[in-house]
Amino acid sequence: MNRRAFLSAGLVGLTLKAERKIEGGFVNEAFILGHHIRDGASFPQPQRQVRTPVVIIGGGIGGLSAAWWLQRNGFRDFALLEMERQPGGNARWGENDITAYPWAAHYVPVPDAGVELVRELFRELGVLDENGRWNERYLCFEPQERLFLHGRWQEDIEPHIGLTAKDREQFRAFEARMAEFRASGDFTIPIARGSKPSDLDRISVSDWLDHNRFDSPYLRWYLDYACRDDYGALARNTSAWAGVHYFASRAPDDKGPLTWPEGNGWIARRLIAKLASYIQTGQAVFRVTRAGSKYRVLTIAADGSAGVEYLADFVIFAAPTFLAHYVIEGAPPATGFVYSPWFTANLRLDRLPRELEGAEPAWDNVDYDSLSLGYVNATHMSVASYREQTVWTWYYSLAEFTPEQARRYLLAHDWAFFERRILDDLERVHPDIRACVSRIDIMRMGHAMVRPSVGFQFGDDRARWLKPLGRVYFANSDLSGISIFEEAQYRGVEAAKAVLQGMGAVHR
């Protein structure tokens, strides 16, 4: 700190808290219609019939990837049905006059050579060039992450401040163990490419840490944070296999991740543009039944009016698998599938808050003492040197509740309650945040991502759904037991491949 900085800090001090009205509300609320479908409500019968060989249900990354693959392989006779007005699923995004911003998934780790499908897509989108170089505008700019720990910001999320020699030794030992797991080649992406069953799936991350005498509170925090962030679950509710997979499955040669202002919405909007002629939005599928050799797929429009009856030879079910039981005739309940609820908020900042001591603002900003996951700055990937306004996406996985409790919590409170909850959380690290924010939009997701619970990865519950139900193929990332872009894409493409193969057989 130089004299000037000290003087201005000392002299100017705090500006009074302005009592400004913050606007906002809940957005993308489709759960009411969803719950009607679950409860078997009666809907107006479709007035119109469409015959098409293939229907894809669900416009998240799984469904979009299935469509992408069909189109790439010259197959053009299909429809993709999305219940929401905006496709994208967990890769949905928003936009205002400042910037585009993500609603959920906001990055893809740099895919190594094993993740060929993602590289394929990225070559098509200009993210990876013909010389194998990543577009430097999309590799996350420095500084990537910071952590508010012991009253100041440090670079990186892995804690550095206040660690004892023993803590540091445990971090080293942990990293060495992860390097061994990585070298074993048993933790792959996509998981189906070569991950081998393992006893690690029988215990939780916490158990594994206990067995290996990892007791450093900082290391335990770090693992707990990683589980909350990646799986929406506490370490004690996460399979150790999934915990290790996160650290041991990737060996990229470039420093990533790949990210964009609107997060994975950048990918989604490009896929949607390519596939626009196949996509029907605001069409919720409420029933799939057999009709002779075909499937009858019934929809209802998002506004409650009559939808369309599709007659298809093949169905790709890319919506979350637990919905199959409520929609598809004869589908069993998806026992064993646990979904973590989340809520995210996008905050419009009309000015940037004053910074407390330590590292500069980063892309991902985390508070060690908060149960939230911190916030991501949507303008971080701008090349501008100077910005006055921005949008932050604040993430909270409600992992300290059971999923059922968390869903009740989400439904029990109004927007003003969550507004307070979010601002109180941010105020700890940005004391003047209330004077900066002018709008908070909140998205509640009751079933945001599948949870890799103990035993789920290599148990029978998951395996049952990998086979088609007649000619209904399942394609949600939850079939992989973890919810990541690579798995969603893989599942979508696998389903599309199976359908293309099946169609070949039918046509022959």
Partner 1 sequence: MTVALFISVFLIAACGLIYELIAGTLASYLLGDSVFEFSTIIGCYLFAMGAGSFLSKYLVRGLVARFVSIELMVAVVGGFSSSALFLAFAYTQGFRLILYLVVLAVGILVGLEIPLLMRILKDRFQFRDLVARVLTFDYLGALGASILFPVLLVPKLGLVRSAMLFGLMNAGVALWSTWLFQEQIGRIRSLRASCIVVVLALCTGMAYAERISSAADNSLYADDVIFSRNTRYQRIVLTKWKDDLRLFLNSHLQFSSRDEYRYHEALVHPGLASLPGARHVLVLGGGDGLAVREILKYPAVESITLVDLDPEMTRLFSTHPVLSGLNGHSLTQPRVHVINADAFPWLDSNEEMFDFVVVDFPDPTSYALGKLYTTAFYRLLGRHLRRGGLAVVQSTSPLFARQSYWCIADTLKEAGLKTWPYHVYVPSFGEWGFMLAGFEDFKLPQALPSGLRFLSMQNVGEMFVFPNDMLPVAAEPNRLNNQVLVHYYERDWKDIVH
CA dist 45 → 32, 287, 309, 437 (Å): 19, 11, 8, 46
Number of residues engaging partner 1 in binding (CB under 8 A): 31
14 binds partner 1 (CB under 8 A): yes
- Closest distance to partner 1 from the beta carbon of 8 (Å): 6
- Closest distance to partner 1 from the beta carbon of 184 (Å): 29
**DSSP run (H or E) holding 461:** helix 460-463
Q: Please, are residues 278 and 125 in contact by the beta-carbon 8 Å criterion?
A: no
CA 215 vs. chain centroid, Å, equals: 30
Single-letter residue type at 308: V
Among positions 140, 233, 334, 376, the unique one binding partner 1 when judged by CB under 8 A: 140
Map residue 450 onto helix, strand or coil.
Answer: strand
Q: Please, are residues 104 and 448 in contact by the beta-carbon 8 Å criterion?
A: yes
Q: Is 44 left (phi over 0), alpha (psi -120 to 50) or beta?
A: beta
- Closest distance to partner 1 from the beta carbon of 133 (Å): 11
CA dist 301 → 208, 307, 309, 471 (Å): 48, 5, 11, 25
Among positions 150, 185, 340, 388, the unique one binding partner 1 when judged by CB under 8 A: 388
466 binds partner 1 (CB under 8 A): no
251 binds partner 1 (CB under 8 A): no
- What lies within 8 Å, CB to CB, of 308 at 6+ separation is 46, 48, 49, 50, 280, 283, 298, 299
136 vs 303, beta carbon nearer partner 1? 136
7 vs 183, beta carbon nearer partner 1? 7
Taking only Cα atoms into account, the Rg of the chain, rounded to an integer number of angstroms, comes to 23
- Closest distance to partner 1 from the beta carbon of 203 (Å): 36
The contact mask relative to partner 1 for 199-238 (x = CB under 8 A, - = no) is: ----------------------------------------
CA 311 vs. chain centroid, Å, equals: 32
The contact mask relative to partner 1 for 358-387 (x = CB under 8 A, - = no) is: --x---------------------xxxxx-
Q: Which stretch binds partner 1 (CB under 8 A): 135-143, 319-327, 371-379, 390-398?
A: 135-143
Give phi and psi for 412, each to the nearest 5: -80, -15
User: Footprint of partner 1 on residues 413-432 (CB under 8 A)?
Assistant: 431
10 vs 504, beta carbon nearer partner 1? 10
Q: Which stretch binds partner 1 (CB under 8 A): 142-150, 208-216, 220-228, 402-410?
A: 142-150
351 binds partner 1 (CB under 8 A): no
**Structure tokens of 71?**
């189109």
141 binds partner 1 (CB under 8 A): yes
Cα(489)–Cα(17) distance, integer angstroms: 47
Among positions 19, 39, 97, 136, the unique one binding partner 1 when judged by CB under 8 A: 136
- Closest distance to partner 1 from the beta carbon of 172 (Å): 23
263 binds partner 1 (CB under 8 A): no
- What lies within 8 Å, CB to CB, of 247 at 6+ separation is 178, 181, 182, 226
Among positions 30, 72, 143, 294, the unique one binding partner 1 when judged by CB under 8 A: 143
8 vs 501, beta carbon nearer partner 1? 8
Q: How far apart are the first and last CA of the chain?
A: 77
- Closest distance to partner 1 from the beta carbon of 364 (Å): 14
Binding site for partner 1 (CB under 8 A): 2-4, 6-14, 136-137, 139-144, 254-256, 360, 382-386, 388, 431
